[in-house]
Structure 1
Amino acid sequence: MTGQAVGRAPRSGPPAPRLRAAPLASVVPARALGFIVVAGAVLGALNLGVDGVLRPGFGRAVYAALMVMLVVIGIYFLTLAQLSYRAVALLIAYGNAVYVVVALTTVNAHLYAGPLMLLLALTAGASFLEARGFVVQLLVVPPICWVGLSNSELTGRALMIQVVVQSGVLILAALLVYGLRMRSERLLRETELLSTTDPLTGLANRRAVEIEAERLWQEVADERLLLAAFVLDLDSFKVLNDSHGHAAGDEALRRVSRAIRESAGEESIVARIGGEEILVLHRVASLPELLLLGERLRRAVSDGPLPHPMTASIGVATSATPDAGAAVEGLWRLVDAADMAMYVAKREGGNRVATAGERDLAP
């Protein structure tokens, strides 16, 4: 390996967008649930002003206390920066318990506290719970409906039919919401994959590299390693395109990308950042490890199963920190240094690896 990189303006790139956050990692769901809970408590409190709905005495006091508690819980959710699955699960469990108590404190649950009151808890579960928690929630719907409707004029066969009908409608509605959620999340994952993948080679693209920048720098800092950037540029690629056509060039680029990805290993990030320019980011601890990986990448191209002979010029740069500036800018400065070293390798005849300096590397 030979060559010393010279200074160059940092490679410019688009701002670093972030991948989709987890479904609960937002203030919007927390505030939406909080508002709905408070609104439900206010609406439920209207029953306190109507005669003949609630059981007098202790039942009425319990009902009032539940409405106050719901307001407190709703206000708590309004103050959350983001939801947690635990908070949602507890809210759903409390909602189920509230329905049972409300049904038992009304004079006739069939008239004044129908199972439709469970719709909020079921919708929240369908929107936020994982599959196992959602299944558990669906399983408890029929017994909860039975407990609630048992405090009514319904008995025997009529009670059982109403339990089946009411719980069935609620479960079907929840399954519909859950199905729509799964479809939306699948489409979102596919969109994210398309936005971070090079369509020709299947490698990561520049956006994907920028998304990983902060994590990469944090990992090398935590493990006291160095981040190595390998920039590979295919030698005489234009000649291949001119001689055999762009279809042959595209196929060669796909095969080279596959060979480099396999050679780099699962811990590396491999991305296409230019026409025939491929970036490999890898954490290294020593100079021998750096040299070994660089040579392995070179041989992956020169000795690979390609329809036409192909070689690559490779530039390497390493750093332990992003230096001045943010993680993304620091990463592109590192890539920029490796890019200059790659041109050194190309000027020296190609099919070789050149470094931008071995600073901080252990011998």
Structure 2
Amino acid sequence: MADWYFKEFGSAEKPASVGEVPWDYVEEYQEEIPFFGLREYWYPALFSHELKHNEHKAVEMLGDNIVLFRDKDDSPCALENRCPHRGPLLSLGQVNAWDVGTITCRYHGMTFDKHGECVAFLSDGPDSPACGKVKAKSYPAEEVGGIIWIYMGIKEPKPFLDSMPHAREVLSDGVLVRNRMQVPYSYLNQLDNTVDMTHVGCLHRTCYLFGDQKMGGGVAFEELPGNGVYARLRKTGGHGGTKAIDDIRWFMPNLVHHGEEFMDGGVHGIYFWFVPDNAGSFTAWLIGSINDKKVGKTKAKFMATTLKRALQSDSLPGMACFVGGDAPMQMAQGRIARWDKDYLARTDRAVIKVRNMMKAAHKAEQELRKEAGLPPLAHPVSMKTQADDRV
């Protein structure tokens, strides 16, 4: 199936329509479904080593274009990648040109600090009235565990480690697990998969990590503290071997957490985190650490390599659990899975639960923006210019 995933669209086997964003559906349901993701959360943006001194980096997250650079104290800064003067990308400019910890627009020299404050306007001179008046949109940013995190909401955020369940376990000392890949369809396609216990024994029967999984066993779920869902098989056990799971923990804004029970108890914690780039693509992050004190450094390094390969490797048979399994199925659902056309079954109890939780959170965020006097995150006309339609 990995071969199918990488094939071009436009054949009967892989129709072009599968790769198109269904804008009529997005416009009809945008107030109900968070197509661009939830905002009141921290998200991984870059690996720390990717943001060097005297450089900047542009990313797209939740439909926002963002430019990152480093402050005088080496801390990361994040601004909207747009100069408020005339609108060009700040990422075409230069950092530290006027002062360390600033970014200067190449067009006319408007310069901003980490808070987005205009501190200089080179083409207007040192007495420019724009200074202290004009402001670029800024985002809170933190650097924890070798990753730069950005907060996308309007509330005052808690520190990352205090806001995400199990974050301290996942970012514990040990052999680090870090991987990332961009995926050319909606994160909502992946959302359903995160709590779908019954697909594992069917789709992943040739996958190394889950190859001993039985098929079926009924589905149940409970809510978890921290906006989470614990999904499980009603009839546990009965697998063909040890490479199987009976349960899974999902948390908003759309990530899966595995704890010490995963991979024979050798991990401190693992996040599989699915971050929307825009309405039609997302970035899959694998973040975690292996308990090398428990399993030894040699085995810990092997486990870390195995997990990294689970996303997309073709170097070993059965290792590409995502690209060789989940991704083709999700891509074949269409660029954005149509929730209005699904025929859901009793195996989808947990799926229905997480969908409803995401919808409720999206509605609450829209109300929060309204109370703050802010416009909606998008509307039917502007959406089409915000998402990347590349396939």
Answer yes or no: same fold by TM over 0.5: no
TM-score, normalised by the number of residues in structure 1: 0.23
Whichever of the two has the greater Rg, that structure is 1
TM-score, normalised by the number of residues in structure 2: 0.22
